[in-house]
Amino acid sequence: MAQRKRATTEPSVDIDSVLAGLKQRLERDGAVKRSEIKPKALQEKLILRLVEHGFEVGKTCVRRPLQAQLADALSHAALIPVTGLASHVAGASSTELKAAIAQAVGAGKVRRALRGTAEVLCGPEVRVLDGEQLRRVGERAQAFAKLVEKVTRKGGLVLLADDVDEALADVQRVVPKRVENKREDETFAALLSAVDSTRDGRSGLSFVPAIVGRLAPRIPTDQVIQMLVSAAARELLELRPEGGIGRLSEAELSVCPPGPHGTKLSWARRLGGGAT
């Protein structure tokens, strides 16, 4: 009998420590399923406390506010394809995600840009051309295109190089000027974008030779390696030593940054608001 009585006694729970653990998980993972919030008897109470601390309640989970997750994902001039956003924001349905994007776009915190055929999202610090600027660029580009067409059609005529320079500079003048370090930020954005696009969905890791290959036509290999190391030092990325036994070819090894103790850093993982 005494043993049965012990079984029905509810174990005392330190709510603050449970709450601290949950907050830690939320900061790390972005969301925690409701079913994982235990003990069950205290679930509602814990959720209320989490809401008081600024977390949001979704249909099946509690999460960091979507706007904050979006801002983190788009920090450091990152560019994220709209189709791949779900892997950067935890605990949101596609409807909730669409609404969050619309709200952020409305508030000017997020821009939707077209790159080739793909729509990408970017933060406010990324240089973009909006409606009026686009109209002016279009007008000047069309004027120049007409001039080229006229010269071609008439035959036997040429254009002065200075005039072409002037016409292109006229178009260029509409494009917002880079502030200091903008070039570097863009390169970093391209790097992070390459890391995201080469990420293995199962392991969350990107293969360094694949990142280098993705950027190779535009950015020299040495520069990519330097940028990877620099991004790791800024804790935007985690560079990981190769764990394979003779798996990499000479060509692959040559584009991996050297790691400690004679290793090669062959894998990268996004940190912070990026990939898991």
Partner 1 sequence: MSRAFLEAVHADPWSDDFVDLASLNASASDAIEDAIVKLRTIARTEPRALRSTSLLVLGPPGAGKTHLFSRLRRRLGPRAVFVHIRPLVHAELTPRFVLTEIVQQLAHSTQGLPQISALVGSLLAHLDGAGTGFPTTFLEAYEVLPEAARQERLDSALERSLEIWPDLDESYLRRLLQAPFAKGPTRRALLAWLSGRDCDVAQLERIGATASLTEDVAPLAIKTLATIAAPGAPIVLVFDQLENLVEADRAGSRLLTYAHLTSELVDTVRGLTLVHMALDTEWERGIEPALNASQRSRLIMRRETLNLPQAKQREELLRVWCERISEPAAPFPWPLNEDRLGRLRSQPGLTPRMLLIECRRALDGEPDEPPGEVTPKPENDESDEEGLQSEWEGCLNRSRRTLTEAAAQRATLDAARLADGLLAAGRFLVDATLGVEKRGGARLALKRGTKTTNIAILSESHPKSLGAALAKLTTLAKETPTVAIRERAHELPPTWKDTLARRRAFLSAGNARWLNMDSDDCAQLLALDELLQAARSGDVTNASGSPLTEDVVVAWVTDRLNVPSWKVLDELLNAAEPEVDVDEPVSLPPATSERSLIMLRRLRIASVDRLVREVARVEPSATRASVLAELEAAGKRVGWFGRAIVCVKDVP
Q: Which residues bind partner 1 (CB under 8 A)?
A: 3-4, 6-7, 11, 24-25, 28-29, 36, 200, 202-205, 228-229, 232-233, 235, 238-245, 247, 257-263, 265-267, 269, 271
130 or 235: CB nearest partner 1: 235
Phi, psi of 203 (to 5 degrees): -95, -15
- Please choose, from the candidates 222, 224, 254, the residue with its C-alpha nearest in 3D space to the C-alpha of residue 237: 224
Closest separation in Å from C-beta 102 to partner 1:
31
8 or 94: CB nearest partner 1: 8
276 vs 90: CA distance, rounded Å: 10
171 or 271: CB nearest partner 1: 271
Closest separation in Å from C-beta 66 to partner 1:
21
Q: Is the dihedral of CA 31, 36, 40, 42 positive or negative?
A: negative
- Please choose, from the candidates 148, 166, 165, the residue with its C-alpha nearest in 3D space to the C-alpha of residue 157: 148
194 or 236: CB nearest partner 1: 236
Pairing of strands 79-81, 61-63: unpaired
Angle formed by the axes of helices 208-215 and 221-233, to 10°? 120
Closest separation in Å from C-beta 79 to partner 1:
23
140 or 199: CB nearest partner 1: 199
226 vs 223: CA distance, rounded Å: 5
Closest separation in Å from C-beta 191 to partner 1:
14
Closest separation in Å from C-beta 253 to partner 1:
13
16 or 235: CB nearest partner 1: 235
- Please choose, from the candidates 60, 62, 59, the residue with its C-alpha nearest in 3D space to the C-alpha of residue 19: 62
Closest separation in Å from C-beta 219 to partner 1:
19
34 or 127: CB nearest partner 1: 34
- Quick check: 187 and 219 in contact, CB under 8 A? yes
- Quick check: 268 and 239 in contact, CB under 8 A? yes
Closest separation in Å from C-beta 12 to partner 1:
13
114 vs 120: CA distance, rounded Å: 6
17 or 117: CB nearest partner 1: 17
Closest separation in Å from C-beta 16 to partner 1:
16
The Cα-based distances of 131 to 1, 91, 135, 138, 272 in angstroms read 79, 34, 6, 10, 33
